[in-house]
């Protein structure tokens, strides 16, 4: 599974301050920590900085890519900001995100079809937040269709079924699992991504809920997740679930992780 480190988001006050003060050392350390913990991509989001967003995101991209050898996941609701951040990025970025919203779709299609990138595509109907798993699969299929019609290869698309908190809707987790199964069935060539920690919003013991939910999503074919790779128990759960799902030949990765002392100490 592809791991996207979620920590460089200005909704966190310490990150926001470091971005505003252009504290490169702090940002590089936070990016490197995630890369060393297993992140394949580093997500960068400066959405809270409003009119400073585009400039801040470009600074983040340049600062991180000068020191940390990982592609970035460029995270903004504004197509113009994403276009500017993409210009600063070397190699194949992940664009987070596109949706069926006309302005967002039209604003991003030129970028996505002309740059080498992957794209997070939200399973959100034009009418607003999806209510059922069926709504999500429908919206995802329509958006994936628009993207492939425009020339985007299916394997570059990461459909996001939009995790809602189980504290708000007791069926929120089940709906995501059903969405994963529905997308996998209907669109076998397209990837699926989740923002994992939304599931536990508003509840105590969030990390426990996050790691349970990761196991459930992985067993339904999740391909990528935006998560905290420095959460060791979460990464242990990722590895053990991959092994249980038969994706670890002779359990070799699992045994190697044990022998290298990579697991946290306790059983």
Residues in contact with its own copies by the rule CB under 8 A:
166-167, 170-174, 177, 199, 203-209, 212-213, 215-216, 219, 236-237, 240-241, 243-246, 248-251, 254-255, 258, 263, 267
Rounded distance between C-alpha atoms, residue 173 and residue 169, angstroms: 8
Shortest CB 62 distance to its own copies, Å: 34
DSSP one-letter string for the chain: -EEEEEEEETTSHHHHHHHHTT-HHHHHHHHHHHHHHT-SEEEEE-GGGGGGHHHHHHHHHHHHHTT----EEEE-S-HHHHHHHHHH--S-EEEEEE-S-HHHHHHHHHHHHHSSEEEEEE---TTSS--SHHHHHHHHHHHHHHHHHTT--GGGEEEE-----TTT-TTHHHHHHHHHHHHHHH-TTSEEEEEGGGGGTTSS-HHHHHHHHHHHHHHTT--EEEE-TT-HHHHHHHHHHHHHTT-SGGGHHHHHHHHTT-S-S--
Rounded distance between C-alpha atoms, residue 101 and residue 128, angstroms: 9
Rounded distance between C-alpha atoms, residue 16 and residue 43, angstroms: 14
Shortest CB 233 distance to its own copies, Å: 8
Q: Which is nearer to its own copies, 69 or 249 (CB)?
A: 249
Q: Which is nearer to its own copies, 11 or 171 (CB)?
A: 171
Shortest CB 135 distance to its own copies, Å: 17
Shortest CB 169 distance to its own copies, Å: 9
What is the Rg, in whole angstroms, of the alpha carbon atoms belonging to the chain?
18
Q: Which is nearer to its own copies, 141 or 251 (CB)?
A: 251
Rounded distance between C-alpha atoms, residue 19 and residue 68, angstroms: 17
Shortest CB 190 distance to its own copies, Å: 22
Q: Which is nearer to its own copies, 58 or 176 (CB)?
A: 176
Shortest CB 180 distance to its own copies, Å: 11
Shortest CB 218 distance to its own copies, Å: 9
Q: Which is nearer to its own copies, 74 or 238 (CB)?
A: 238
Q: Which is nearer to its own copies, 109 or 172 (CB)?
A: 172
Q: Which is nearer to its own copies, 17 or 258 (CB)?
A: 258
């Amino acid at each position: 599974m592809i791991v996207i480190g979620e920590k460089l988001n200005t909704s966190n006050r310490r990150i926001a301050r470091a971005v505003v003060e252009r504290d490169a050392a702090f940002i590089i350390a936070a990016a490197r920590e995630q890369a060393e913990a297993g992140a394949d991509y580093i997500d960068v989001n400066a959405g809270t900085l409003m009119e400073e967003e585009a400039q801040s995101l470009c600074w983040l991209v340049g600062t991180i890519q000068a020191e940390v050898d990982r592609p970035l996941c460029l995270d903004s609701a504004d197509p113009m900001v994403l276009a500017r951040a993409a210009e600063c990025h070397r190699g194949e970025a992940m664009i987070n995100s596109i949706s069926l919203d006309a302005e967002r779709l039209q604003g991003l299609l030129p970028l996505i079809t002309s740059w080498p990138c992957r794209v997070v595509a939200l399973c959100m109907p034009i009418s607003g937040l999806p209510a059922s798993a069926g709504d999500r699969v429908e919206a995802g299929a329509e958006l994936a269709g628009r993207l492939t019609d425009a020339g985007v290869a299916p394997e570059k698309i990461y459909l996001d079924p939009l995790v809602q908190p189980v504290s708000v809707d007791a069926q929120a987790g089940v709906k995501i699992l059903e969405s994963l199964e529905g997308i996998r069935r209907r669109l076998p060539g397209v990837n699926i991504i989740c923002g994992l920690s939304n599931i536990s919003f508003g509840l105590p013991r969030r990390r426990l809920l996050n790691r349970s939910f990761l196991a459930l999503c992985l067993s339904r074919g999740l391909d990528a997740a935006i998560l905290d790779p420095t959460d060791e128990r979460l990464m242990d759960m990722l590895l053990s679930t991959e092994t249980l799902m038969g994706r670890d030949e002779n359990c070799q990765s699992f045994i190697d992780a044990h022998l290298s002392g990579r697991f946290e100490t306790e059983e």
